[in-house]
Homo-oligomer: A and B are copies of this chain.
Amino acid sequence: MFFMHVINATDRLPTRGHAAKRLSILEAGARVFCREGYTGANIDMIAAEAGVSRQTVYNHYGDKDRLFAAVVTEITQRCNARSFEVLATFPDQPADLEDELIAFAMRLTQKCVCDEDGKYLRKLIQSEGERHPHLFAGWRTEGPGKVWSALAARFARLAYAGHLELDDPDVAARQFIALVNAELHIPALFGEKLENDQLREVTTRAVKTFLRAYRRNGKEGQETTRVSRALPA
């Protein structure tokens, strides 16, 4: 009962009491660490932004290091969970492949790349990744590692079903993500948000290019080996 909070503060969303403060500190920590960097962030700021006294922060997380670690693992888990949620909506039996891939890509962007957590995670990794690689080792294997290969499996399935023609599903998956994110990098760096219409345009162009390269009969040159590995459910 008491360990609940210790293990993971967000499996429930408490609105009062111990757990509520704990969560609110975590969220404020994410915002502040991300905005100011590890060294630039200070506990008073986090406490103020969490609507909590400084001492409470220390009561819950011991010290700055441990708070930071908690923030990182929390954000990481949240991002991964989101990614797999979206992944579950991949169009396995598409009626209109292009349309459905576009919709899928937009979900991916909105819920995993351009949302708050995604932004936080990118900034935290960028600023502290080299200094504390152990903190992000989990993210690397559980995050992109699994998400990408899961996405690759979905593409392999589409290829097996005759919708795509591809050499290496892993490469296709990475390229898909790269294309979809192609036009988001610069705005993301400066915290600018894309309107829904713009996002649709950008995504549409990305998916069209992807499909021109990988559609069943959009080939030319390059030997394409038929995929025939174990496919997931």
Contacts and interface: CB of A to CB of B under 8 A. Distances in A.
Nearest to A130: B191
Which DSSP category, helix, strand, loop or mixed, fits chain A's interface?
helix
A53 interface: no
A190 to B, nearest CB: 5
Nearest to A137: B190
Contact of A140 (B186, B191, B208): B186
A220 B221 contact: no
A28 interface: no
Interface string A197-233: 0000000011011111111011111100000000000
A182 B190 contact: no
A171 interface: yes
Nearest to A217: B220
A217 to B, nearest CB: 6
Contacts of A181: 178
Contacts of A37: 37-40, 127
Given A178-B182, A215-B220, A218-B220, 20 more contacts: A37-B38, A39-B39, A39-B40, A125-B189, A126-B127, A126-B189, A127-B127, A129-B191, A130-B190, A171-B209, A174-B183, A175-B179, A179-B179, A211-B221, A212-B214, A212-B218, A212-B219, A212-B221, A218-B218, A218-B221
